[in-house]
Structure 1
Amino acid sequence: MIFRSAFPDIEIPSLGVYQYATRNINGIDDSKPLIIDGVTGAEMTFGEFKRDSKRLAAGLQDKLGLKKGDVVAIFSPNQIDYAVVFFGIIAAGAIPTLANPLQTPNEFQAQFCDSTASIIITHPLFLATVFEVAKNCQFPLSKIFLFGGEEKDGIKPYTELLGDREAEPVVFTKKEIKEQPAFLCYSSGTTGRQKGVMTTHYNAVANCEQYKAFEEPKLNPNLVFMGLLPLFHIYGLFILSVSLSSGATIVILPKFDLTLFCTTIQKYKVNLAHVVPPIVLLLTKDPTARTFDFSSMQVFTCAAAPLGESLTKEFYDLYKVPVKQGYGLTETSPLTHIDITSNPTFGSVGNLIPNLEAKIISEDGKELGYHEHGELCVRGPNVMKGYWKNKEATDACFDSEGFFHTGDVATVARKYFIVDRLKELIKYKGFQIAPAELEALLLTHQCVADAAVIGVFVESEVTEYPVAYIHVKPGIEQTDELKKDIQKFVAENAAPCKKLRGGVVFVDKVPKSASGKILRRQLRDRVKDDLAKLNQLVGI
């Protein structure tokens, strides 16, 4: 059966992302602070945001010849002016691609080359990575610019691009709004190769409107959002867009620090915070958090990974602030489900958002009904156009009815519950890790003959840890020192989120099917036999 949202359909405005963010439907004044740096206290007003984003658009067009449809890479942690750069690129008619600055040079190079970016805007701390990629790709240093306002190692700040004029933001046709990518976030594929997700202007605007349609409290300019989530991630970018288009204020933090997070809530009287499960865990378990004033908070929304029912209840008992769950993917812009603030159901990801349809299917493709477990598939205006320059991957994830197959196992009662995952992706604190990517890296280690990686859920951290199962080469002794060396090897050659925090396990052979596919379920069953021990692993 086809499940439809219990909420009435809403009208999706035919607007580009820039026009949507700046249309000022709530009539705020240009002097209203829209973005605050939670570390320095610096503020950016609505007027400054519009002015500088349009000046950047002018500079990109006039000084660098940026054209409609070109791609610009942003390789940076959260900044107060991240929004200026992101929306300035879009105002110029171009497409930002957003990259995790903690990627290794090889990882960033793969995304950079796949996206065909012609300009890079980065942070001074990550210039070494960008320089290595530029050298490998014979990319001109004159096309690299910095956040921060100062020149470093011959690289000029992006502020030198700001034009004397304010460009008139490019207006897209109705057809382009539905077909032109507004931006490219990259999603880890189970094959190990990251894929560029083409989120169109229509997708992004639709998802903001779907969220606003029944979010509680109703979004308005008096609200203050917590801007903690990485802006290179679709989740963080979505919250930024919702806040800006509502005329609300968002306080940007560069990364999570418990004291800074709690101080920010107290100092700026934050009302809405969107987080991931490990943050909920820390707020619950660390007594430091309870010394701060959270009375301004109206709701915590948790997504990116499942949140247990017991932890949800414990959090509410401590703070008397509801923590509700949502669900989505990069491919769905990102939200598909969210619970109701006034009546959250512990353990549920809530309701299907307006304008969205879903079905639950069995392994043989049969449509299932209520209380049956199967793969969740969704269809609606927020579902991506497809993967960037990858028709094969696009065709593989959409069925003949236009439903996107999420790879997650769900069941529908009164609300939706995510119960398992068909995809092999490991979710570590909101980051997605492709096992095949780590396996390919492990096979380059001089002592490794074969490798398989799975994710193990660690209850004490409310997240998954990657565990590597290693078959060593003949004559190699299986020692604790070798385990540590393999962990170190991965730590030095992959992004920090991909460390083998779950450890290394030696095996006589990696279980595989006749076709050579790794039988990960056998490894997961093996893990269950010693789960208590694995759940004691913290911060390896």
Structure 2
Amino acid sequence: MELSDSGLGMFFRAALDIPEIPFGEMLWESAQRFPEKIAVIYQGQKMSFRELDGLVNSFANALSKLGVKKGDRVALFMTNRPEYIIAVYATARLGAVFTPMNPTYKEEEVAHQLQDSDASVLVVQESLYPRVKTIRQRVNKSLKHVVVIGQQAEEGDSLFLDLIRQSSPKHPPQVQISWTEDLVALPYSSGTTGLPKGAMLTHQNLVANAIQFISSGRITEQDSMLICLPFYHIYGVMLVNGALYSGATQVIMEAFDLELSLSLAQQYKVSLYYAVPPILLVLANYPNLSAYDLSHLRYIMVGAAPMAPEVAHRLQEKTHVPIVQGYGLTEASPVTHLNPVDQGQIKLDSVGLSVANQEQKIVDPETGEHEMEPGELGELIVKGPHVMQGYWKAPEETARTIRNGWLYTGDIARIDADGYVYIVDRKKEMIKYKGFSVAPAEVEAVLFQHEAVADCAVIGKPDAESGEIPKALVLLQGGARIEPEALMEFVGSRLAGYKRVREVEFVSNIPKTASGKVLRRVLIEAEREKAEAQAAAEAATVAPEPVETAEPDETPVETAMSDETPVDEASVDETPVDETPVDEASADEASADDMPEAVQADAVDTEPASELDAVVSEEMDAAPEPLPDEADTDEEQSESESDSDSESVVTSEALADEAAAPEIEDQTESAAAPSEEEATPPAVEVDVTQEEPLVAMSDEAGVSSEPEETGEPEETGESEAIGEDRAPEDDSEAMMAASDADLVDAPPEAAPSEPAAS
């Protein structure tokens, strides 16, 4: 791929044809194209696209029987597992909306999302079930059904396994979907007020972003993708969607483990390895890395937090594998920028080029209007078919974040002469801890509940390993005495692990404005000055000049880290990222606790895979029956003749027959099933192997950098739907992909007929 020299013009990715298909049918199309190809590998079990599609149909029919209909919210509370994928696509096929929940959430956080989203169904794995039972009475107003992935459920609740076994694997009747208006996902992310809120994502948003991601990353059915990043996070959702629609095989890890990830990469000849910066650091410092055969890796994609170029350089030297970085946010589904995947076109300190079908600008952060020149700093804003509809139940916040179709990211950035984007800072105050956003106000609200706290402020303290750590500045009540560790434990018992305070400093006052707002930037600046002073003091004593008349002072300068600072997690590597890695045996002992909550299930018991025994319907071998009307679908179900004692992790062996040749049910009056030609619409072929060059924008030619607005989502005036408050920069965490080459070449008939449309 040819790129023009820097300075001659910017580069952009040519426009893509986005197929206007419902999100739930993306898997169905892949099942038609790659029926027997392995779609998912989980704890040694394998499942084909055909089998996975059949299970999605079964669970969709089960949800329909529970009363789930178009527009209803279905909450998902589990770690990475095949059931997650099944629940997501089953919900989408009914026209309902899935709302993923962080498995590290404590009871209060679970209750908030269930209440705010008005979820009518919750799908939860058994190890998390107790958290739901304790708050059940508070959410009973909207929550009608709980489905448990496991062996035991209380009276009135259902078991995932039983529902699958009792339901038909045939495609449920098609629901009429408005591609640009109807929601399919409601992921929650922290807000500047501390209350998580939902980003309303439509079918268009997720379908468009999947195509943008597949194209930019050049993902094909030949690829094998290792996914340890959480499915509840928008980054994980994007990876799953990209794998399923491209036909790639995804190797799923429930939680990150360094040696296991390398073993899986070697065993399954993984070509695409997805990470966040802390994982990159562990890999770069792992002394036994060369013991694993990683020759099949095409690239390692990194995102969710700023990446240290020095770490990426070090890992590239060890593996000879390109490290590609990208950027995005929940509000953009999430991918907005990706580096090219070709080694010679990667800029390690940049988040890359704009994805296809997206417009971008750098604007004056004060006015939000005046466009800045290349190289000048300003707020990054983007526009395209992947930009959310708005925030759930928060029209005012939506109006501030989306203006005339432009999504204001809240991140300060610049664009270089080649069109590469560099994220410089965040406009607002979210703390980025290991790729996760922590809202200071949420942590402060918990601290204020402690009787010893008179006032407090929470800021992000720079940290070489985590990016930032939440630090609390606390003013105690008169006469009160308390240890810092006690306050940290107080917060940790009430919030998810990544929101825990990592350092406490007692102060005599909290600076505030006349209106009572905390002057957080003053505190942050003071923290930076202290860090710089400490660094300068340490640098001055690193190599003291010998003095002939006196012995050099060999007394080391103590670090400024207080003894009160907790060390509650095993350190991945004590060496700052810009220093030479330490080749010590301890470097390979990193555990899941060393990883960000973005890649682990903190305080969540991982559950072993087990067979979904004998979920085989005798009807599957019978001739096709007449297709029922929608009203009759609840009566169509498979009869199971055997039982299973095992916990319900879906496997291919157990469900091969049930998932075989799933048919699409149609609401037709015909007494016979339609022919294959009538029932199966042509699959949308996405040719990701064909490279289209990045287009050089010559200033002399006067070519605009903004692609045609062909796929732009329609603006909505719905007052019902828009979230609580949260600035999008808090999920700049989202994505960080990598890629390039670009575009998917979709055929002219890129908008196929929907299967079995009613």
Q: Which TM class, normalised by the smaller chain length?
A: over 0.9
Partner of 1:43: 46
Q: From 5, 18, 22, give the equivalent of 1:16.
A: 22
Q: For 1:106, give the aligned amino acid.
A: E
| Aligned-partner Cα distance in 1 for 2:236–2:19 | 22
| Aligned-partner Cα distance in 2 for 1:239–1:398 | 25
Q: For 1:164, give the aligned amino acid.
A: S
Please say if residues 31 and 49 of structure 2, whose CA atoms lie closer than 8 Å, have aligned partners that are also in contact.
no
Partner of 1:253: 253
Q: TM-score, normalised by structure 2?
A: 0.67
Please say if residues 77 and 103 of structure 2, whose CA atoms lie closer than 8 Å, have aligned partners that are also in contact.
yes
Please say if residues 5 and 356 of structure 1, whose CA atoms lie closer than 8 Å, have aligned partners that are also in contact.
no
Please say if residues 31 and 53 of structure 2, whose CA atoms lie closer than 8 Å, have aligned partners that are also in contact.
no
Partner of 2:263: 263
| Aligned-partner Cα distance in 2 for 1:515–1:375 | 27
Compute the displacement of 1:140 (Å).
9.3
Q: For 1:442, give the aligned amino acid.
A: L
Compute the displacement of 1:173 (Å).
4.8
| Aligned-partner Cα distance in 1 for 2:79–2:451 | 34
Partner of 1:145: 147
Q: Taking structure 1 as reference, are residues 202 and 469 closer, same or farther at Cα in structure 2, changes over 3 Å only?
A: same
Partner of 1:52: 55
Please say if residues 31 and 50 of structure 2, whose CA atoms lie closer than 8 Å, have aligned partners that are also in contact.
no
Partner of 1:520: 520
3-state SS of the aligned residue for 1:529?
helix
Please say if residues 278 and 463 of structure 1, whose CA atoms lie closer than 8 Å, have aligned partners that are also in contact.
no
Compute the displacement of 1:289 (Å).
3.4
Say whether 1:411 aligns with 2:414.
yes
1:332-390 CA distances to partner (integer Å, 9 max, x unpaired)? 00000000111211210000011111111223223211111111111111100001122
Please say if residues 377 and 403 of structure 1, whose CA atoms lie closer than 8 Å, have aligned partners that are also in contact.
yes
Instruction: Determine which structure has greater relative contact order: mean sequence separation of CA pairs < 8 Å that are 6+ residues apart, divided by chain length.
Output: 2
Identical counterparts, % of pairs: 35
| Aligned-partner Cα distance in 2 for 1:287–1:500 | 31
| Aligned-partner Cα distance in 2 for 1:463–1:251 | 28
| Aligned-partner Cα distance in 2 for 1:131–1:139 | 15
Partner of 1:177: 179
Q: Which runs of 5+ in 1 are unaligned?
A: none
Say whether 1:388 aligns with 2:396.
no
1:486-508 CA distances to partner (integer Å, 9 max, x unpaired)? 0110111111111112x001121
Partner of 2:119: 117
Q: Taking structure 1 as reference, are residues 534 and 428 closer, same or farther at Cα in structure 2, changes over 3 Å only?
A: farther
Say whether 1:166 aligns with 2:169.
yes
Compute the displacement of 1:142 (Å).
7.1
- Aligned pairs for 1:461-476 within 5 A: 461-476=465-480
Partner of 2:383: 379
Please say if residues 79 and 231 of structure 2, whose CA atoms lie closer than 8 Å, have aligned partners that are also in contact.
yes
Partner of 1:437: 442
Q: For 2:247, give the aligned amino acid.
A: G
Larger helix percent: 1
Q: For 1:114, give the aligned amino acid.
A: D
Between 1:317-326 and 1:355-364, the stretch displaced more is 355-364
Say whether 1:7 aligns with 2:7.
no
Partner of 1:428: 433
| Aligned-partner Cα distance in 1 for 2:438–2:108 | 15
What is the number of residues matched between the two proteins? Answer: 524
| Aligned-partner Cα distance in 1 for 2:14–2:77 | 39
1:68-93 CA distances to partner (integer Å, 9 max, x unpaired)? 11111110011122111111111122
Partner of 1:493: 494
Partner of 2:363: 361
| Aligned-partner Cα distance in 1 for 2:231–2:560 | 32
| Aligned-partner Cα distance in 1 for 2:222–2:261 | 20
Compute the displacement of 1:114 (Å).
0.5
- Aligned pairs for 1:149-228 within 5 A: 150-154=151-155, 155-162=157-164, 163-169=166-172, 171=174, 173=176, 176-215=178-217, 218-228=218-228
Compute the displacement of 1:275 (Å).
1.0
**Which structure is larger by alpha-carbon Rg, 1 or 2?**
2
Q: For 1:472, give the aligned amino acid.
A: L
Q: From 61, 81, 87, give the equivalent of 2:89.
A: 87
3-state SS of the aligned residue for 1:250?
strand
1:121-146 CA distances to partner (integer Å, 9 max, x unpaired)? 10111111111121322369971111
| Aligned-partner Cα distance in 2 for 1:411–1:535 | 34
Q: From 399, 402, 420, give the equivalent of 1:398.
A: 402
Please say if residues 457 and 473 of structure 2, whose CA atoms lie closer than 8 Å, have aligned partners that are also in contact.
yes
3-state SS of the aligned residue for 1:239?
helix
Larger strand percent: 1
Q: Taking structure 1 as reference, are residues 282 and 539 closer, same or farther at Cα in structure 2, changes over 3 Å only?
A: farther
1:459-501 CA distances to partner (integer Å, 9 max, x unpaired)? 1x14321111111111224xxx521110110111111111112
3-state SS of the aligned residue for 2:39?
strand
Compute the displacement of 1:403 (Å).
0.9
Compute the displacement of 1:25 (Å).
8.8
| Aligned-partner Cα distance in 2 for 1:136–1:440 | 21
Please say if residues 27 and 53 of structure 2, whose CA atoms lie closer than 8 Å, have aligned partners that are also in contact.
no
Please say if residues 93 and 175 of structure 2, whose CA atoms lie closer than 8 Å, have aligned partners that are also in contact.
no
Please say if residues 114 and 139 of structure 2, whose CA atoms lie closer than 8 Å, have aligned partners that are also in contact.
no
Q: Which runs of 5+ in 2 are unaligned?
A: 1-8, 536-558, 570-758
Please say if residues 38 and 48 of structure 2, whose CA atoms lie closer than 8 Å, have aligned partners that are also in contact.
yes
Partner of 2:318: 318
| Aligned-partner Cα distance in 1 for 2:275–2:32 | 26
Q: TM-score, normalised by structure 1?
A: 0.93
Please say if residues 457 and 535 of structure 1, whose CA atoms lie closer than 8 Å, have aligned partners that are also in contact.
no
3-state SS of the aligned residue for 2:135?
helix
| Aligned-partner Cα distance in 1 for 2:561–2:376 | 29
